[in-house]
Amino acid sequence: MSSRLLDSLVTTDALAGVFSDAAVLEAMLRFEAALARAQAECGMIPAAAAAAIEQAAAAADLDAEAIARAARASATPSIAMVAALADRARRIDPAAGDLVHRGATSQDVSDTALVLLLLRAQPILAHDHARLADALVRLSDEHAGTVMLGRTLLQPATPITFGLKAAGWYAAIDRSWSRVRRAFEVACVLQFGGAAGTRAALGGRATDVARALASRLHLPLVPPWHTDRDRLGALVTACALYTAAVGKAARDIALLMQAEVGEVSERGGGSSTMPNKHNPSSSIAAIAAATRMPGLAAAFLGGMIQEHERAAGGSQAEPATLAAIVQGTGAAVAALAGAVEGLSVDVDRMRANLDATRGGALAEHAVMLLSTRLGKREAQAHVARALERAHRERRRLADSLADVPAVRSVLSDDELRDLGRPESYLGDAEAIRSELLGRTAAAALD
Amino acid sequence: MSSRLLDSLVTTDALAGVFSDAAVLEAMLRFEAALARAQAECGMIPAAAAAAIEQAAAAADLDAEAIARAARASATPSIAMVAALADRARRIDPAAGDLVHRGATSQDVSDTALVLLLLRAQPILAHDHARLADALVRLSDEHAGTVMLGRTLLQPATPITFGLKAAGWYAAIDRSWSRVRRAFEVACVLQFGGAAGTRAALGGRATDVARALASRLHLPLVPPWHTDRDRLGALVTACALYTAAVGKAARDIALLMQAEVGEVSERGGGSSTMPNKHNPSSSIAAIAAATRMPGLAAAFLGGMIQEHERAAGGSQAEPATLAAIVQGTGAAVAALAGAVEGLSVDVDRMRANLDATRGGALAEHAVMLLSTRLGKREAQAHVARALERAHRERRRLADSLADVPAVRSVLSDDELRDLGRPESYLGDAEAIRSELLGRTAAAALD
Amino acid sequence: MSSRLLDSLVTTDALAGVFSDAAVLEAMLRFEAALARAQAECGMIPAAAAAAIEQAAAAADLDAEAIARAARASATPSIAMVAALADRARRIDPAAGDLVHRGATSQDVSDTALVLLLLRAQPILAHDHARLADALVRLSDEHAGTVMLGRTLLQPATPITFGLKAAGWYAAIDRSWSRVRRAFEVACVLQFGGAAGTRAALGGRATDVARALASRLHLPLVPPWHTDRDRLGALVTACALYTAAVGKAARDIALLMQAEVGEVSERGGGSSTMPNKHNPSSSIAAIAAATRMPGLAAAFLGGMIQEHERAAGGSQAEPATLAAIVQGTGAAVAALAGAVEGLSVDVDRMRANLDATRGGALAEHAVMLLSTRLGKREAQAHVARALERAHRERRRLADSLADVPAVRSVLSDDELRDLGRPESYLGDAEAIRSELLGRTAAAALD
Amino acid sequence: MSSRLLDSLVTTDALAGVFSDAAVLEAMLRFEAALARAQAECGMIPAAAAAAIEQAAAAADLDAEAIARAARASATPSIAMVAALADRARRIDPAAGDLVHRGATSQDVSDTALVLLLLRAQPILAHDHARLADALVRLSDEHAGTVMLGRTLLQPATPITFGLKAAGWYAAIDRSWSRVRRAFEVACVLQFGGAAGTRAALGGRATDVARALASRLHLPLVPPWHTDRDRLGALVTACALYTAAVGKAARDIALLMQAEVGEVSERGGGSSTMPNKHNPSSSIAAIAAATRMPGLAAAFLGGMIQEHERAAGGSQAEPATLAAIVQGTGAAVAALAGAVEGLSVDVDRMRANLDATRGGALAEHAVMLLSTRLGKREAQAHVARALERAHRERRRLADSLADVPAVRSVLSDDELRDLGRPESYLGDAEAIRSELLGRTAAAALD
């Protein structure tokens, strides 16, 4: 039920279990049992046969390795699975063997099984997303007033609050989760079309059987989608967008945790050789999972141009790709949730890094103030010179500007004081934070 | 305004125009003019200066090549564009020069300009999608009763109708278009955050200016999204899913148009050297555009893990990628719309290809009928032998089966006749077709 | 040791074994044992301790699941593996525990272990490539004289030989294999750099230990490559190019095997429901594996921009991706080798499909002949009309042309006869075939 | 001849010119002129006609927009180009019109034209690579003795030299360039196969014409490769690996240039609004170009599974993708070359950042020394406690350790002094640097 070593960083234990051989077989067998029951319900096969098939399916003693091997000969695991189930059913009720998988096609069972696995994966992801979202909202609220450097192109920009930054992480991740949630709902539908998608083998009872089957599996009934993979594709790409948002927050944390920045710190994260090491291990695990997602999404998308009523290659590798994508998404969110829940924030260091710009973070402010009075070019020249002087003399921009009579004379005392106070140059930060957290609508941003 | 030669198959004339240098500059200038007007409206800058900026922006005589060259020095085209606009504005009103781009950041103008281009591209795509959707519905209705081979893994399966096939194309394409349409709506929002996303440079009037700017550009106002690219990412992936659905239909057409299959035929499509040639050129253009979409989507997704308040590399290549994706989508849908509108269907050939299976397409039917009476294994054996005999003796499966007393005795005359009639083995085809066309809900499938 | 069900079509049994947990642990332990021995050889640790470490490593009773779980906490499986090995070594020799992994870093063992697995995978791929290459050469030679339709844009073009086609498959696959082979050689090198790539922890004996370690593992010694992944990247992309070449041949086979074309046939390939079915299952498995390769390659490439002396996310997902790529490559080549070895070729059907063009495949020939005598436009017009007539009257182009006095009068009897003989219009086919098979150099093409 | 605005960061002026419409048409016309001359040389067409074709081709007044538009109707730009050239040739010599493009196919001219463009692009890339390689070697040599922090997982590790770091950049980039150079050589070959790759339309002189054509275009002659795109694919992937290596160095520079790190600084890089800003603009441009490369490579690879003798979609989008990849590669190398050539290095800051770890960078050293004497666990405990104390008391690890009698007593004075000197813990740094610069072979690493 566990992940494999090579995959350990791109899944979680719980999700590795969801896509394990036992779970795959169980889902396939559940389809076949439900199909038999549905046909019995519609009077197509004897109830006793359906009971035998269900009983055989419940035994769940199929040989996953043998089926995997047989899958390579027929390009589908379904044929060998059906044969094995039929053997077992026949031993219980001689008539039942012939009635396994009746009227269905290989892809009906493999696709529906995949859907059943997705339905098991969804709450695992939802749980970790909820943990992450809660932790981010708490973090944002706690640091609504924590002033820090905004950074653009990896260089100091103007001040922001850490609360705003965390709210930005939250909003992108939560917006992306909405897409994932909707995509799961849309994708988790019954596949049932028979040989060429008409359900012809079921004769006049086709629609009834389809409905009964959907009902038994608690799956919506839609037209067969053997070569229309857009619902799965939408789930795949929603996962890719979600992990990108997760990865963005994780990279920010890893950057803020650099020793030279030191503004936040993850719990844990030791090294195999260096006692001084304190690594952003969880963020890195999240980034790792996110890093391969664009390629994995492309791997799925690349198979979507499928031939006629069943693909000649495009869909046969989908399960492996889809399982990797869902597990990678789960690995990313679980890792980041852990990182954020245990994050310690060094408020003093944030202030110190701001102060280390010697007012550079407020240089734009100074230019905005001065340019209406002195003209933009002169304002820019004054500020640039004063900033240079401040760095040379280890003073602050505000003090350095105050020394220049032409500048001092056009600034009020309050303005001058504000040029030394990053908290006076936060603009709409708090209003935007509130909107990012969904507390105020865009339409009422104040 | 035209496409470049090397890009000719991955865009259309109209879309190449949307993303041309002139259009890009116009969109950027429109942002700056609206910003000035919004600030004048809020009393931040004189109305005369705003008028001068608007007038300078309208002149639209900027040197695209020079700006492109300067863009490489600063990793953004905005700085050079702003400088050039300020020069022009200053000539009209000396005070106006300093007031261009006031309080905004480079990415505010470049992102919003991109959004304005997307808004121009959307109706072009919508128009071609509507053409395609209409043509597919017509095609499906016209051929609701046209029986043809279903094909799975590129081999004959059971019968379907061409109307069902076309309805399947329609449903996947239309479902995918809904995602594209929604994604355009969500993505087309104002970008306006200033240096680090707080709009601090606008002082106390920040929110008012943001609202006025959004209103002037007819764009929704949302929190700054400088490093949160999920809305654009959702558009990108919706386009990828859409072109995949388009590509699937196009590949089906190219396959059906093979000389050996000959069931449909595009208009046009000559060769540079062979007079016998009649190529599926439009379908091929659609497939070509679709083929590179997974990679292009990955190219966009791969840049989404962006640092802090402005990316250090992840976003700077986005415009090129996004323009390629939207143009590729437009090229695909325009090409397929052309192919489908001009498609001729050879109903006789469809029937002939079905007949050429000598009843093989109904072999499943025969097994279904016989297995309840003779057991599945015996049924399969009889049908397999009869099918082989039918091929050898150039007869039909039904006739060949009728020669076998053990088989003949358990089949009624009607059943035997049906085994020779593909139209008797269409199952839910028409009901599913109706659902695919959105005429009946999944909940009422009959 | 087997593949998982969901991955069954994208690996082989042998390759699934290569990347199994047991194999991964064995490779890691082999590194640690060799490191200890190398250090003993250089006098850095006692021989007895090295023997104890080697003995502990040989026991191979580590708990893969526990290590996988611990890997998520530290973003590497190495730490838990080293701790478990040290425990075991300490039980054998109390001094040995502290000397496990001495001077190495986590990535030294994980990268080198990956390299050791690659070295086990290489001969498996090489074996199946050799099978495939042999089968293709045989096929090409056997059908050097088998004339068939060349097909461009899925439409009939001019004649080729099946021998030429098979030689083309061979040449692209074999050329691509050369890249894979070289890439394996270049990529399979020791990783050994210690904490930051200087091997400082080994003091003055660093170089000696590195050499001894390389020698014991039979791996070339190169500078540490912790964040320089181009050698692995070159292997990944070589695999992607190789599977593309394999996929091209597989798709050709699937297309040629369409019932309506019927020129080749794979062995095997049944359906779960339709007795008439004969699927190109092996080709489809090859296409499936090839379909996801571009995305998987992008997943690897997307992580290559790695920070400083050890990546913060870019490399941690590499093993999963790399294992998927190598296994997918192996699955593709094994599947196609099986398909080609068992391929039956229907020479008569090839001829029949050619004949069904009614000379269309020779229309270019007719134009070439006639245009020097009648001018190109008139020649094209004559041929087009004659071809249309031939189809209508179910005759051959040559006969139809012969009816036109203006045409007949400028053609010799031999020329007219050749217009009915595809084998007279094969150009350089045999010379090119010989070159594709490597029997004649490009420089001496005749 | 310039780049478009939207593409400005993903190309250079020079490369935008190489792939401009004028250059594309010139290359196509050059093929046709050379083909005519080659046929005249072989006696297949009159010399006067060849001269007329050459003259018409030289006039180069074709309408690129019209040809681009026509390309969409036939899925190739060649047909319209040939028609236009034939018209012009006919006006010069009435017989010449019919002899344009004789025996060739559309893809012969479009592929060969692409190859001719690649041959123009190669020296541009080579020139910028040489600049970059030279600058990196100089940088490495200049800083062979500049000690700095090694950083792993974005956290301080053990010391390295900046010379070693720059040598690592050089080695990966130069190794990757070798692949690009070889790939250009292999990919730049003549495409000439006629309708289905047999050159049948050229009759008995096919081989001679092929040779003469290859000779005139100075291109190697190889068998037709219409659907075998591995040589182009190898170029594409070599470019992707190269830009990844470039991107790694660029990201390192952007990280080292963070204000909080401050170890290196690019020239230039202003902001549109903040006077304090000094952005790593060139590195960012390089990262931007590199970021989309994995996706672009996948876009190419995704089209490589091509049907029969000419692709039905897979190849038609290649030129756009290939041009984007080569231009992106050129943009990346040009940007990084500029960054490195103008890089200033703050040696004092490097030392200060090292010192700020308070000896943490040497903690591994301390553990290595102490564990042979005190056992590993006790050594680790001592070092961890001493490091914590050093941070608390703002001292150095070495001093803090010296206060512990149990530790002090087992360390010599020299050892203790070395624990305070990062330069004493550089291991093989200089030897590895020399090897990375290609000055010593792996086989003689000392």
Instruction: State the residue for tokens 């050159």.
Output: D199
Say whether D310 is catalytic: yes
For position C1, what pLDDT does the model report?
Answer: 38
End-to-end CA gap in chain D:
51
- Nearest neighbour of B233 by CB, restricted to A168, A223, A241: A241
Specify the range with the lowest mean pLDDT, choosing from A442-446, C208-212, C423-427.
A442-446
d(CA A250, nearest CA chain D) in Å:
13
Q: Which residues of D touch A (CB under 8 A)?
A: 152-158, 254-255, 257-261, 269, 271, 273-281, 284, 294-295, 298, 302, 353, 356-357, 360-361, 363-364, 367, 380, 383-384, 387
- Nearest neighbour of B275 by CB, restricted to C259, C281, C387: C387
Tokens of C420: 């009915």
Strands B155-161, B147-152: pairing is antiparallel
D425 vs C contacts (CB less than 8 Å):
198, 200
Q: Which of D31, D72, D279 to mutate to test the interface with B (most CBs of B within 10 A)?
A: D72
Whether residue C101 contacts residue C32, with contact meaning beta carbons closer than 8 Å, is answered with yes
- Polymer length of chain A: 446
Which regions of C139-234 does DSSP assign to beta strands (E)? Answer: 147-152, 155-161
**Which contiguous run of DSSP H or E holds residue C120?**
helix C106-142
Among B178, B182, B271, B417, the one annotated catalytic: B271
For position B241, what pLDDT does the model report?
Answer: 98
Confidence check: pLDDT of B273 > 70: no
3-state secondary structure B230-281: HHHHHHHHHHHHHHHHHHHHHHHHHHHCCCCCCCEECCCCCCCCCCCCCCCH
Specify the range with the lowest mean pLDDT, choosing from A271-280, B104-113, D382-391.
A271-280
For position C446, what pLDDT does the model report?
Answer: 38
Tokens of D214: 């290859």
Confidence check: pLDDT of C405 > 80: yes
pLDDT band at B184 (very low <50, low <70, confident <90, very high): very high
Instruction: State the residue for tokens 């820019």.
Output: A380
The pLDDT > 90 percentage for chain B reads 90
Q: Three-class SS of residue A339?
A: helix
| CB pairs < 8 Å spanning B and C | 116
* Helix intervals (H) in B281-428: 281-291, 293-301, 318-341, 347-355, 363-374, 376-393, 397-402, 405-408, 413-418
CA distance D81 to A14: 60
Mean pLDDT computed over B156-162: 97
- Nearest neighbour of D259 by CB, restricted to A155, A278, A383: A155
Whether this model's pTM surpasses 0.95: yes
CA distance C274 to C258: 16
Among D2, D178, D271, D417, the one annotated catalytic: D271
d(CA A235, nearest CA chain B) in Å:
11
Asked if the Cβ–Cβ distance from D259 to A156 is below 8 Å, we say yes
End-to-end CA gap in chain B:
51
**What's chain C's average pLDDT?**
94
At B3, phi and psi to the nearest 5? -75, 160
Whether residue B55 contacts residue D245, with contact meaning beta carbons closer than 8 Å, is answered with no
For position C4, what pLDDT does the model report?
Answer: 85
C292 vs D contacts (CB less than 8 Å):
none
Per-residue pLDDT of chain A (446 residues; tens, 9 = 90+): 346 899 988 999 999 999 999 999 999 999 999 999 999 999 999 999 999 999 999 987 899 989 998 888 888 889 999 999 999 999 999 999 999 999 999 999 999 999 999 999 999 999 999 999 999 999 999 999 999 999 999 999 999 999 999 999 999 999 999 999 999 999 999 999 999 999 999 999 999 999 999 999 999 999 999 999 999 999 999 999 999 999 999 999 999 999 999 999 998 766 666 677 789 999 999 999 999 999 999 999 999 999 999 999 999 999 999 999 999 999 999 999 999 999 999 999 999 999 999 999 999 999 999 998 999 889 999 999 999 999 999 999 999 999 999 999 999 999 999 999 999 999 999 999 999 999 987 544 43
Closest to C201 measured CA to CA, from C274, C324, C103: C103
For position B268, what pLDDT does the model report?
Answer: 72
- Tens of pLDDT along A203-238? 999 999 999 999 999 999 999 999 999 999 999 999
Asked if the Cβ–Cβ distance from B298 to D295 is below 8 Å, we say yes
Mean pLDDT computed over C347-356: 97
Say whether B199 is catalytic: no
CA distance C305 to C312: 10
Confidence check: pLDDT of C257 > 80: yes
Supply the angle between the helices D363-374 and D376-393 in degrees, to the nearest 10: 140
For position D418, what pLDDT does the model report?
Answer: 93
CB atoms within 10 A of CB C18: 25
Whether residue C321 contacts residue C296, with contact meaning beta carbons closer than 8 Å, is answered with yes
pLDDT band at D372 (very low <50, low <70, confident <90, very high): confident
pLDDT band at B446 (very low <50, low <70, confident <90, very high): very low
Tokens of B77: 């085209």
Give the distance, in angstroms, between the CA of residue B339 and the centroid of all CA atoms in the same chain.
Answer: 15
For position C273, what pLDDT does the model report?
Answer: 64
Q: Three-class SS of residue B208?
A: helix
For position B61, what pLDDT does the model report?
Answer: 87
Asked if the Cβ–Cβ distance from A313 to C286 is below 8 Å, we say yes
DSSP state of B8: G
The radius of gyration computed from the CA coordinates of chain D, to the nearest angstrom, equals 30
Closest to D154 measured CA to CA, from A254, B168, B107, C166: A254
For position B372, what pLDDT does the model report?
Answer: 86
Q: Which of A4, A5, A199, A287 to mutate to test the interface with C (most CBs of C within 10 A)?
A: A5
Closest to B244 measured CA to CA, from C310, A302, C294: A302
Confidence check: pLDDT of C2 > 60: no
CA distance D311 to B126: 29
Nearest chain D residue to C302 by CA distance is D294
Asked if the Cβ–Cβ distance from D383 to A275 is below 8 Å, we say yes
Tokens of D288: 């931007």
Confidence check: pLDDT of C314 > 60: yes
Nearest chain A residue to C111 by CA distance is A6
Rounded to 5°, angle at Cα B124 from B123 and B128: 110
pLDDT band at C440 (very low <50, low <70, confident <90, very high): confident
Instruction: State the residue for tokens 């086979």.
Output: C253
- Tens of pLDDT along B409-433? 999 999 999 999 999 999 999 999 9
Give B209: exposed, middle or buried? Use CB within 10 Å, 0-12, 13-18, 19+: buried
Nearest chain C residue to B274 by CA distance is C364
The interface pTM score, or ipTM, of the predicted complex is 0.96
Asked if the Cβ–Cβ distance from A277 to D155 is below 8 Å, we say yes
Confidence check: pLDDT of C252 > 90: yes
Asked if the Cβ–Cβ distance from A155 to D260 is below 8 Å, we say no
CA distance D72 to D74: 6
Whether residue B319 contacts residue D291, with contact meaning beta carbons closer than 8 Å, is answered with no
d(CA A265, nearest CA chain C) in Å:
15
CA neighbours within 13 Å on the CB side: how many for D328? 34
Whether residue A285 contacts residue A292, with contact meaning beta carbons closer than 8 Å, is answered with no
Specify the range with the lowest mean pLDDT, choosing from B21-25, B90-94, D273-277, D339-343.
D273-277
Asked if the Cβ–Cβ distance from B281 to C153 is below 8 Å, we say yes
CA distance B200 to A418: 13
At B155, phi and psi to the nearest 5? -120, 155
D356 vs A contacts (CB less than 8 Å):
259-260
Q: Which of C246, C261, C428 to mutate to test the interface with D (most CBs of D within 10 A)?
A: C428
Among A69, A271, A408, A417, the one annotated catalytic: A271
Whether residue C328 contacts residue C293, with contact meaning beta carbons closer than 8 Å, is answered with yes
Instruction: State the residue for tokens 């002396």.
Output: C309
Closest to B278 measured CA to CA, from B292, B260, B258: B258
CA distance B391 to B356: 9
Q: Say what the alpha-carbon torsion angle A389, A395, A396, A400 is, to the nearest 10 degrees.
A: -50
C285 vs D contacts (CB less than 8 Å):
none
Nearest chain A residue to C314 by CA distance is A288
CA distance A231 to C191: 43
Tokens of D78: 């060649």
**Which contiguous run of DSSP H or E holds residue D135?**
helix D106-142
Q: Which of D6, D20, D100 to mutate to test the interface with B (most CBs of B within 10 A)?
A: D6
Asked if the Cβ–Cβ distance from C200 to D429 is below 8 Å, we say yes
Q: Which residues on adjacent β-strands are paired with residue B160? A: B148
